[in-house]
Amino acid sequence: MDHNRVGMGDERRIVRRWRGGGGCGCGCASVLVVLTLGLVLTLLNAGIGIGVSVRIPLTDSNLTIAGSVGKKEKAADALPNYVRGKLGGNQNFINQSNTLTIWVAEGTAIAVLGHQEGAPLIDLHLEAR
Protein backbone atom coordinates (compact mmCIF):
# COMPACT_ATOMS: atom_id res chain seq x y z
CA MET A 1 0.00 0.00 0.00
CA ASP A 2 1.42 3.40 -0.96
CA HIS A 3 0.59 6.69 0.73
CA ASN A 4 0.82 9.66 -1.65
CA ARG A 5 0.36 13.33 -0.80
CA VAL A 6 -2.50 15.07 -2.50
CA GLY A 7 -2.19 18.86 -2.60
CA MET A 8 -0.85 21.11 0.15
CA GLY A 9 -2.87 19.78 3.11
CA ASP A 10 -2.46 16.71 5.23
CA GLU A 11 -4.86 14.70 3.09
CA ARG A 12 -3.50 11.40 1.92
CA ARG A 13 -4.66 9.16 -0.85
CA ILE A 14 -4.29 5.43 -0.42
CA VAL A 15 -3.35 3.58 -3.59
CA ARG A 16 -3.87 -0.16 -3.55
CA ARG A 17 -2.06 -2.12 -6.18
CA TRP A 18 -3.39 -5.45 -7.34
CA ARG A 19 -0.84 -8.20 -7.17
CA GLY A 20 -1.36 -10.91 -9.73
CA GLY A 21 -1.33 -14.54 -8.86
CA GLY A 22 -3.88 -17.13 -7.93
CA GLY A 23 -5.35 -18.68 -11.04
CA CYS A 24 -5.82 -22.39 -11.44
CA GLY A 25 -3.59 -23.31 -8.51
CA CYS A 26 -6.59 -23.24 -6.17
CA GLY A 27 -8.54 -26.16 -7.63
CA CYS A 28 -8.90 -29.85 -6.89
CA ALA A 29 -5.17 -30.44 -7.35
CA SER A 30 -4.09 -27.85 -4.78
CA VAL A 31 -2.04 -28.89 -1.77
CA LEU A 32 -4.62 -27.67 0.75
CA VAL A 33 -7.52 -29.56 -0.87
CA VAL A 34 -5.56 -32.81 -1.19
CA LEU A 35 -4.19 -32.59 2.36
CA THR A 36 -7.57 -31.95 3.97
CA LEU A 37 -10.43 -33.26 1.84
CA GLY A 38 -8.32 -35.87 0.06
CA LEU A 39 -7.06 -37.51 3.22
CA VAL A 40 -10.55 -37.47 4.80
CA LEU A 41 -12.01 -39.12 1.69
CA THR A 42 -9.18 -41.67 1.76
CA LEU A 43 -10.23 -42.70 5.26
CA LEU A 44 -13.75 -43.20 3.89
CA ASN A 45 -12.40 -45.10 0.83
CA ALA A 46 -14.06 -42.56 -1.48
CA GLY A 47 -13.48 -40.03 -4.22
CA ILE A 48 -15.57 -37.09 -5.47
CA GLY A 49 -15.57 -35.39 -8.85
CA ILE A 50 -17.15 -32.36 -10.47
CA GLY A 51 -17.07 -31.22 -14.07
CA VAL A 52 -18.81 -29.11 -16.66
CA SER A 53 -18.78 -29.54 -20.42
CA VAL A 54 -20.28 -27.56 -23.31
CA ARG A 55 -20.24 -28.21 -27.06
CA ILE A 56 -18.51 -25.63 -29.24
CA PRO A 57 -21.10 -24.45 -31.84
CA LEU A 58 -20.75 -25.78 -35.40
CA THR A 59 -18.07 -28.32 -34.39
CA ASP A 60 -17.87 -31.77 -32.81
CA SER A 61 -15.58 -30.43 -30.06
CA ASN A 62 -16.35 -29.76 -26.40
CA LEU A 63 -14.80 -27.56 -23.74
CA THR A 64 -14.60 -29.53 -20.50
CA ILE A 65 -13.31 -28.44 -17.11
CA ALA A 66 -13.31 -31.08 -14.38
CA GLY A 67 -11.62 -32.02 -11.14
CA SER A 68 -11.63 -34.78 -8.56
CA VAL A 69 -10.13 -35.57 -5.18
CA GLY A 70 -10.02 -38.64 -2.96
CA LYS A 71 -8.29 -41.97 -2.58
CA LYS A 72 -5.55 -42.46 -5.16
CA GLU A 73 -7.29 -45.37 -6.88
CA LYS A 74 -10.66 -43.60 -7.01
CA ALA A 75 -9.84 -39.96 -7.86
CA ALA A 76 -9.42 -40.39 -11.62
CA ASP A 77 -12.51 -42.64 -11.77
CA ALA A 78 -14.65 -39.79 -10.39
CA LEU A 79 -13.98 -37.69 -13.52
CA PRO A 80 -16.56 -37.70 -16.35
CA ASN A 81 -16.28 -40.79 -18.62
CA TYR A 82 -15.36 -38.73 -21.68
CA VAL A 83 -12.20 -37.21 -20.07
CA ARG A 84 -11.00 -40.09 -17.87
CA GLY A 85 -8.52 -41.41 -20.42
CA LYS A 86 -7.35 -37.92 -21.36
CA LEU A 87 -5.71 -37.11 -18.00
CA GLY A 88 -2.10 -36.33 -18.96
CA GLY A 89 -2.82 -37.02 -22.63
CA ASN A 90 -1.99 -35.09 -25.79
CA GLN A 91 -4.74 -36.13 -28.16
CA ASN A 92 -6.71 -32.85 -28.17
CA PHE A 93 -6.24 -29.28 -29.34
CA ILE A 94 -5.79 -28.17 -25.72
CA ASN A 95 -5.32 -30.57 -22.82
CA GLN A 96 -4.12 -29.03 -19.57
CA SER A 97 -4.15 -31.45 -16.68
CA ASN A 98 -2.71 -31.45 -13.17
CA THR A 99 -2.42 -34.19 -10.59
CA LEU A 100 -1.13 -34.00 -7.06
CA THR A 101 -0.56 -37.10 -4.97
CA ILE A 102 0.18 -36.90 -1.27
CA TRP A 103 0.66 -40.32 0.29
CA VAL A 104 -2.64 -42.14 -0.42
CA ALA A 105 -4.70 -39.10 -1.49
CA GLU A 106 -4.83 -37.62 -4.98
CA GLY A 107 -6.31 -34.53 -6.58
CA THR A 108 -6.81 -34.03 -10.31
CA ALA A 109 -7.79 -31.07 -12.47
CA ILE A 110 -8.26 -31.11 -16.24
CA ALA A 111 -9.30 -28.68 -18.96
CA VAL A 112 -9.82 -30.12 -22.45
CA LEU A 113 -10.77 -28.38 -25.68
CA GLY A 114 -11.28 -30.80 -28.55
CA HIS A 115 -13.19 -33.89 -29.63
CA GLN A 116 -14.33 -35.98 -26.69
CA GLU A 117 -16.01 -39.26 -27.53
CA GLY A 118 -19.36 -39.57 -25.75
CA ALA A 119 -19.53 -35.98 -24.49
CA PRO A 120 -23.06 -34.50 -24.52
CA LEU A 121 -24.02 -31.01 -25.73
CA ILE A 122 -24.11 -29.66 -22.17
CA ASP A 123 -23.18 -31.59 -19.04
CA LEU A 124 -22.78 -30.95 -15.33
CA HIS A 125 -21.06 -33.93 -13.76
CA LEU A 126 -21.19 -34.59 -9.99
CA GLU A 127 -20.01 -37.96 -8.73
CA ALA A 128 -19.07 -39.64 -5.48
CA ARG A 129 -17.50 -43.12 -5.53
In tens, the pLDDT along 55-72 reads 999 999 999 999 999 998
Q: How many CB atoms lie within 10 A of CB 84?
A: 16
CB 3 within 8 A of CB 12: yes
**Contacts (Cβ under 8 Å, ≥6 apart) of 22:** none
CB 108 within 8 A of CB 75: yes
- Between 74 and 85, the more confident residue is 74
For 4-59, write each residue's pLDDT tens digit: 555 555 556 565 555 544 444 456 668 888 888 999 999 999 999 999 999 999 99
